[in-house]
Each structure stands twice: as structure tokens, then as C-alpha cells.
Structure 1
Amino acid sequence: LKRQPLNSSLRAAAQLLGDTHWPPSHRGLTTQPPEPQVPSSDPWRAGTTGHLTWFPSLLSNTLTYRVALGKHDLTVDEEGSLFVGVDTIYVHEKWNSFLVRNDIALIKLAEPVELSDTIQVACLPEKDSVLPQDYPCLVTGWGRLWTNGPIADELQQGLQPVVGYATCSRWDWWSFMVRKTMVCAGGDGIISSCNGDSGGPLNCQAENGAWEVHGIVSFGSGQGCNTLKKPTVYTRVSAYIDWINQKMQL
């Protein structure tokens, strides 16, 4: 079952210039509609999480990056979308590509961006907050519509209930590959993220109605995108709030 197109005027995406090779066990950069925020020109606040986050294995010193904001359909030039250069990319100092640990990076835009009807921010969760089992969240992206299928032109979304650490770390699920700095979601064998969704957000709605980015797509099963008991594994954003705040002061 493929994911459903996201129907919203609140969109943000990142685009890189150059070729990117997607490991089969890895999953673009995406967004789910956040609550409207007061317009800001802060160069840190123009993206999926209120701070543009990516995962380090997508980054290369040999490529030049730019960020596309306000995108929904990648095949057309959309009113309200724009491209912005990148000032600095901060990759987590303890990023481990072999064990896929500390899979988070922060992008600082080269110039301030004004928020609009098509460019908004999402909220960061409270530090160290952990969502309970089956909490409903949404993953979004332009990744493959199904295993080995075509890349999506329009932004897609899929419901991904949270899978608690106690379940996700079982031997027949993800076992030792999962750490408490991660969050699992999905694993029903029907709907999931897929190749090309890497670095995208897992958005969960708080009690006050605000959308919070609780996860960043990190890795999935090499057996296929909708593998039973192999939920998508996300970097748990709430575990890195201090790191994010520290980098924002640079």
C-alpha cells in the first residue's frame, strides 16, 4: 500500500546539487504541516524542524548544497517556493556511520527567510521526552512509493504509530541495532518510509495541537520498505536538544 499525497499549503524541503547514492537500508528531507508560527527572519528557523536537520550520511564535502523551501510537487515551479544557499553544516561529532549512531546534522541557511503561507516551521519536542507505544505520528517524504518503486513527485505522508523501545529492541525486531537515542515507528508491513525519505521528519501532534518533530528518518530494513517487525528507525530529536541549542549559538 503506497503512502498518500500530502494535501497542504504548508511545505518545506531541502534539495542538494549533485548525485546522491541511497544505501538500501537507508531511507530526502520533508515536512508535515506545523502550527502557524509568528513570522521570523532568523536564518536558523526556515525548515522542517525550525532548524533544518539532515542525517550525516547524505552529506559530502565535495557537493554544493542549497535548500528549497515551500515545495510540494518537485516537477513544477511552485508559487511561494524559493531556494536558499547554505552557510554551515554541523554534523554531530559522534556520528558513527557503521552503527548508525548520532545520526543528526544541523544546517544554517546563508540568509534569513521570511515565513509565509507556504513556508512555516515546526516545533521541537521537550528535551528527553519519549512518546508512548502506538502514539500516532506521520512520516513525510518524496521517497519511493513502494520497495523498488518510483520516486514520488508529490510530497507523501504515512501514518506511523510509535513502537516502544522494549518492543523495537526485541531480537526478532531490531535487537541491538536500536538505542534509546532512537525512536521506532511503523512496522505493520503495510505503510512505511522508503528509500529517498532519509533525513525527513516524524511529526507528532502534541496535546496543544502543535506539530513536533520527534524523529529524523535514519534507517530501515534491507528486506524492503514495508517489512513486518522492521519499523523505520528514527533519530530521537528530544535526545539532542542540548546539542541543537549549542550549535545554534555558533
Structure 2
Amino acid sequence: MILLVALLSCFGLICAETPYHDRVIGGSDAKPNTWRWQVSLQFDSYNDGYFYHICGGSIVDSFYVMTAAHCILSMDASQYRAVVGEYNLFENDNSELVIPVETIIVHPEWVGDLGKGNDIALLKLSTPIYDNGFVEIANLPYPGQMLPHGFTCYITGWGSMDHIGSTPAKLQVAPINVVEHAVCSTPEWWGSLALETMLCAGGDGIISGCHGDSGGPLNCMTDGVWRVHGVVSYGPAGMCNQVSKPTVFTRVSSFIDWIFSVSLLKCSSLTIFHLE
């Protein structure tokens, strides 16, 4: 039986058969200053001021970041920060904004079981993101919007390079094809674990999300614009890029009403400040 694993970055913090951390499998370095809604969610596990990347996320408002509910390891908001405009995790790109998290809002129907879905959360930031030329609010899909089988999207994130834990410095990107629910929910694929509120992509044994990519976006060009259609949720235990076991995302179009009710997204524009 294939076991579900949340696609977190480990550092010994999550339950897995063998703790390890992997990247967007089959990916390559993203071009700088692209995917500008991508967030590095960072965690201070010992409250000692040392933060490290645990998950991805997406900017959905000047005050809000969307991520996966399973990325929330503590409800103490002071243990988290969002880094936007990030590209190289280990260097100062002069594009980053580091903003503390003020409030954590987990979907009310998240029960800690990946197979039951609702793996989505919003983080309210302590100060608004300002437009420094390297950040952008993500476009979201329409409520209920579905993607056809085989549709090519792009997964982005900062997991490790392989199953032995080689960590990439730069944001990774890879094309990944949607697997429609009618296929993904068959016994040969994810079966009953694939709910209609989820979106499957990959399963070719080559490209997949993996540990460290959780909470990050599935980016799809629809209606002429890039939209975040998915939030990285889970994959198979062991090797992430297994045939017929695609990466599973929370389907954003199933949660638009909740996102808007929580964040009150009225104006999709970043706050502009003039820095003296």
C-alpha cells in the first residue's frame, strides 16, 4: 500500500518512514523575477530566532499568504515568517521582503488527515507587502473551475534535489500535466483518496512535487493569465516521482468562497510605500 506523506521539508520535524527532503523532482532553476507570487514560508522551531524554509505559499493579497494546512506545525504565529520576492534561499538577492506572520487561519474542516482534504490555510501578515518590483498578487481561478486531463501547469518550490537530501539554493520549476479526477480516483492511481476538492498532476515517474514543496502553487495559464489552481498537499511515501501516484494539490477553485470570506479580498493590488 502506498502511504500518504505531506510534502513538508523535514529537518526531523515530520512523521515519515525515513526523514528526508526533496525538491520539485525533474525541475530546473526558475528564471529570476518570475513566479513573483511564490512565498518561502519559514519556521523557527526553537524560538531562538533561527528560521528555515519549511513550505511554499502564494501571495493572495497584500496582507495574506495561502499555504497548506499541514504546513502549520504550531499555532504560535510568532514562529513563522513569510519571505516574498525570494529566489536564492542562501543569498541576499536584494529582492526579498521578510514579513512576520500575525494570524494563522486554518480551514475549519481540516482534521489533520490528508485523505479527507481541506488542506489549506491563510496567513495574515503583520505588515502589508509593498510592491518592490519583485512581488505580485496571484490570480486565482474562478469558483469551481476545472482543468482538462493533460493540461500542462508548472509546479514551483524549494525542496531538495534528490532523495539523498541535496538542497537547491534557487527556486525550482517544472512542467507537470493535470490528471483528471476520473483517472486519479481509480484504484490504479489514488483511488478514494483523490477527492473532487483535490487536483492531481504528474504520475509519469519523472516530474513531481516532494518534501519542501508543500503549500506552494500549481501555476496554470488559463484565460490568458497565470492562475494558482493548486496548493501542494501530498504524494506517495518513499520516492515522490512514482508512476500513477501523482502529486495531489488542494484544488483552489473549490475554496474561493472561503478564501474571500476570510481575507476579504476587495482590491487585488499591492500596497505602495515610498522608502526613504
Say which SS state the counterpart of residue 176 (structure 1) adopts: helix
In the TM superposition, what are the counterparts of 1:66-85 in structure 2 within 5 Å? 66-85=81-100
Deviates most, 228-237 or 216-225: 216-225
> Which residue matches 2:186?
170
> Which residue matches 2:273?
none
Structure 2: 5+ residue stretches without partners: 1-24, 47-53, 266-276
> Which residue matches 1:206?
222
Is it true that 1:61 corresponds to 2:75 in the alignment?
yes
Residue 30 (structure 1) shift = 5.0
Contact 1:146 1:225 in 2 (8 A): no
1:115-140, CA deviations, whole angstroms, 9 ceiling, x for partnerless residues? 23211122000010000001110000
Distance 1:44 1:87, change over 3 A: farther
Q: Greater share of strand residues, 1 or 2?
A: 2
Please give the alpha-carbon distance, in whole angstroms, between the structure 2 residues aligned to 1:198 and 1:179.
18
Distance 1:249 1:127, change over 3 A: same
1:95-128, CA deviations, whole angstroms, 9 ceiling, x for partnerless residues? 0222341000011111122223211122000010
Q: CA RMSD in A?
A: 2.1
> Which residue matches 1:5?
29
> Which residue matches 1:23?
none
Say which SS state the counterpart of residue 55 (structure 2) adopts: coil
1:23-71, CA deviations, whole angstroms, 9 ceiling, x for partnerless residues? xxxx92056xxxxxxxxxxx96248xxx411111221124611111110
Contact 2:231 2:250 in 1 (8 A): yes
TM-score (normalised: structure 1)? 0.85
Say which SS state the counterpart of residue 236 (structure 2) adopts: coil
After TM superposition, where is structure 1 displaced by more than 6 Å over at least 4 residues in a row?
A: none
> Which residue matches 1:249?
264
Please give the alpha-carbon distance, in whole angstroms, between the structure 2 residues aligned to 1:227 and 1:19.
31
TM-score (normalised: structure 2)? 0.77
1:191-246, CA deviations, whole angstroms, 9 ceiling, x for partnerless residues? 111111100100000132x1100000000011311100000000000000000011
Structure 1: 5+ residue stretches without partners: 21-26, 32-42
The one of 47, 55, 64 aligned to 1:28: 55
Say which SS state the counterpart of residue 246 (structure 1) adopts: helix
> Which residue matches 1:155?
171
Aligned length: 229
Is it true that 1:143 corresponds to 2:159 in the alignment?
yes
